[in-house]
Structure 1
């Protein structure tokens, strides 16, 4: 029989199930901890052309309760911001629960994909060796699960890890990670690591890397440290230099910091929906903005077809039930949907999504504050995005 978490671990689940805390975390997270800006650069913001599409009455998904429409989806997902771009125009956007077009919102694990894009670009430039062990760049990680793994393994969630000898539980380890980063999230009597680097040093491999997919934040934090060593830049400056200052962003973005001043790269990132849409539109256009290449066309083009040999072609989404079919691919920290439209997405807890579909000429950004609990049905966000795209192209 599968092991269950001990009762003493239940205190680590509150962050997923308390609606008030979730909304504060997603909408004001950068104000709860020290943060560092990701500079938007000196150039003027790129204008987002405006079109109009009446999507409120569109039947998105048929459920037992009837047809789900956008207002129903917004209520179920506790949507804070929703933006649809079609063929380069913003055709629909809504801001709820006190958000507006200029409100930075937590992207959570969607930020993993942005870092994956940075890593893929550096590898394309010859500055990063995907086949090298991470400890070749970060010597002090030697002997840890992440240091002994290859950069390629980190980019594909290919490590099997146990922290400080604990039995691995993905949800609980995610909450423990938040406690590492933010003192106010630590329960009474907490005696664990007080910084990301210290946390990574407690990781030990429970199986050889590259053999199985296991979604775990430590892979991304180890990768972020590799990239800092390769470039000599902070994660914030690196993301600004390679992406944020080059996509025509309107606003600075932000990373929250741990006690050592290190960015929480795996999910401590906040940005506006409009700027995340600009990032998605750049990718939809083959890595270019207005005819100027931001990331190499090859990097943008291989997101959906670059899964290397030896890595699973089908992986299970983190929130999916254990018995669900594995229908997604995972490459360079992006989720590949295997649909007829070449769609892929960045995804974060509580409903954060950047959905890019070149075949539908579509970019969708969704920011939410949804409770994560077995008692709360998952919201069919991806099905809704595809339905919108098909409708707009009909």
Structure 2
């Protein structure tokens, strides 16, 4: 099949995208991570129906209407590690590798934690420029890995999907060969003092991807295959989108099945333990899911030109409240949401056609997605929660 580039996909124009998001491995350059040699299948639990309604901004809303409006292609619900609801529509399916978009950021965070435990990274308080090549005085020169993990490097950035000239759109254009991903990262411009402002910035995650490559001496594809795909028991092949040099699109380029996406949520729900293996260090998981400074608290992170009503950890979004919820979130409404207090992990894969046509909640519906997933999790309040063995 003839390959296309990211620009030709006409993202953020209101066009339907579910016909593309299920087949990126066929239409864009990728590297492959083969399925695990020891696949892990979730157990089946008692089947449940999704709640018919949920509340958002004081209104009772229809679950069915929301799933249809956001071109939802998969909803997978796990309770205590067992599948209790599995829904596929449009071009979704149990064996379909769907594009992660920014859900990939949370996988990169896990790999940084593993590389730290392995000794490939000495400390996240070291400067990321001790590992990656950047221009003197550029955004990542002398900035700590911790600040990059927390989207707090101080780099100048606009994550505005509705503006063709925004930084995130220029980053995406690298996939068409305008420049390499590494060159883009090396030349970013500083704006504010590191560690003071949380500005959502896909370039930060691309810098972390470069960090992993330099620190481990391996490609992201190779390192992730060993450290996550194999021990998590991926049941299907997974793919990274890559640029012209073979560098992985760390900020958004994973292609995986819903069940394999769920394994990261389950891994973090169980403090880095899955299938009786400690895959990510427990202390890394705890640190990753904590907004440990005022500028990281819900309502403080900046997305494009406005504050966002979620907190931020190490490449994880943190909903406000006392339940310890956390979520990986990608454009077009991709989510891996976890409510550990209820033992619930939910994957929602979507192709919301209105996404990015503005930067308003009314089109992007990110907080509304969280509201729906919270309602699904709340339906288990009468069911006892037990840890996964």
Shorter-chain TM-score category? 0.7 to 0.9
Q: C-alpha separation between the residues in 1 aligned to 2:86 and 2:335?
A: 14
- Cα 1:310–1:138 shift into 2, 3 Å: farther
The change in CA–CA distance for 1:293 and 1:359 in structure 2 (over 3 A counts) is same
- Tell me the residue number matched to 1:113: 106
Query: Which of 22, 33, 40 is the equivalent residue of 1:38?
Result: 33
Task: Quote the offset at 1:147 in angstroms.
Answer: 3.2
Counterpart pick for 1:332 among 314, 334, 348: 314
Which deviations, in whole Å up to 9, do the C-alpha atoms of 1:154-213 show, x marking residues without a partner?
Answer: 1011133348xxxx4633222221111135xxxxxxxxx421122223312122222211
Q: How far did residue 14 of structure 1 move?
A: 5.0
Match of 1:156 in 2: 150
Could you tell me how far 1:236 is from its partner in structure 2?
Answer: 1.1
- C-alpha deviation, 1:377, in angstroms: 6.2
Instruction: Note if contact 1:55-1:70 (Cα within 8 Å) is conserved in structure 2.
Output: no
Residue 385 of structure 1 pairs with residue 385 of structure 2: no
Alignment of 1:170-249 (within 5 A): 170-171=160-161, 172-183=166-177, 193-249=178-234
Runs of 4+ in 1 over 6 A off after TM superposition: 317-321
Q: What is the DSSP-based 3-state SS (H/G/I as helix, E as strand, rest coil) of the residue aligned with 1:345?
A: strand
- Structure 2 distance, partners of 1:369, 1:261, is 26
The CA distance in 2 between the partners of 1:295 and 1:377, in whole Å, is: 32
- Residue 81 of structure 2 aligns with which residue? 88
How far does residue 221 in structure 1 lie from its aligned partner after superposition? 1.1
1:356-371 → structure 2 map (5 Å cutoff): 356-370=338-352, 371=354
The whole-number CA distance in structure 1 between the counterparts of 2:136 and 2:256 is: 34
Tell me the residue number matched to 2:337.
Answer: 355
CA RMSD between the two structures: 2.6
Candidates 75, 89, 112, aligned match of 2:68: 75
Per-residue CA deviation, residues 223-263 of structure 1 (Å, 9 max, x unaligned), is 11111111111011111111111111101211011011100
Distance 1:284 1:138 in 2: 32
CA distance in structure 1 between the aligned counterparts of 2:175 and 2:305, rounded to whole angstroms: 28
1:29 aligns with 2:16: no
Q: Using the TM superposition, give the Cα deviation of residue 146 of structure 1 relative to its aligned residue in structure 2, in angstroms.
A: 2.0
Q: Provide the C-alpha distance between the structure 2 equivalents of 1:55 and 1:208, rounded to a whole number of angstroms.
A: 48
Distance 1:160 1:286, change over 3 A: closer
Report the equivalent of 2:124. 130
Contact 1:12 1:175 in 2 (8 A): no
Provide the rounded CA distance (Å) in 2 between the counterparts of 1:150 and 1:178: 25
Say how many residue pairs are matched. 365
| 1:53 shift after superposition | 3.4
- 1:320–1:385 CA distance, 2 compared to 1 (3 A): farther
Residue 55 of structure 1 deviates from its aligned partner by 2.1
Tell me the TM-score normalised to structure 2 length. 0.86
Name 1:267's counterpart in structure 2.
252
Cα distance in structure 1, aligned partners of 2:260 and 2:9: 31
C-alpha change, 1:320 and 1:75, in structure 2 (3 Å) is farther
Offset, 1:153: 1.4
CA contact (8 A) 1:315 1:330 kept: no
Q: What is the CA–CA distance in structure 2 between the aligned matches of 1:209 and 1:317, rounded to whole Å?
A: 14
**What is aligned with 1:19?**
15
Encode CA deviations 1:353-383: one digit per residue, 9 max, x unaligned. 0011110100000000012134636261111
Q: How many angstroms apart in 2 are the aligned matches of 1:313 and 1:123?
A: 25
Indicate conservation of the 8 Å contact 1:39/1:237, yes or no.
no
For structure 2, list consecutive stretches of 5 or more residues without a partner in the other structure.
1-6, 383-389
- Establish whether residue 55 from structure 1 lines up as the match of residue 49 from structure 2: yes
Give the structure-1-normalised TM-score: 0.85
Equivalent-residue separation in structure 1 for 2:180 and 2:255 (angstroms): 20
Contact preservation (8 Å) 1:105, 1:367: yes
